[in-house]
Amino acid sequence: MNIQPFVVIPKNYPHPLNVIGVKVTVLASNAATQGYEITMQEGDEGSGPPPHSHNWDESFYVVKGKVECSHGDKTVMAEPGTLVHLPAGTVHSFRFSVGGGAMIEISGPGGFASKIFTNIDKEIPPGPPDIPKLIGILQQHGVTVAA
């Protein structure tokens, strides 16, 4: 394994992926780090994924706006500067609040978030998603959508 140092500056960001209404910019993929992933996620009010779980840890650091983060029966309104950590297997979701927002997402080792996001961007057009197709893509990558 020959991991190389790298620097990602805003002018060199890859094109954001459209993931069911959330713009996801992959800043560091699992392929680049050989361990974890980092994305910037930006969304309009009300956007965010349904309750789901996966077998890797995930953390969110809110940088702009407010984000409602839920896990189990708990919900927190995360403001800028808030870190939310979700261990592998935790059913969770989030929704960007009034005015939208932005957060940094860090996926733990074994995560395939960037592959999932890329697949969704390619297969699910903007607008109301084809739910069965979306669930199929998520399941292919080890994500379980909660009922």
Domains, the chain, in order of start with CATH, read 13-145 (2.60.120.10)
Q: Summarize pLDDT for 88-124 with one digit per residue, the tens.
A: 999 999 999 999 999 999 998 877 889 999 999 999 9
Separation of alpha carbons 65 and 10, rounded Å: 20
> pLDDT band at residue 126, thresholds of 50, 70 and 90?
confident
Q: According to the model, what pLDDT value does residue 48 have?
A: 94
Residue 28, SS3? Answer: strand
Give the per-residue pLDDT at 37: 95
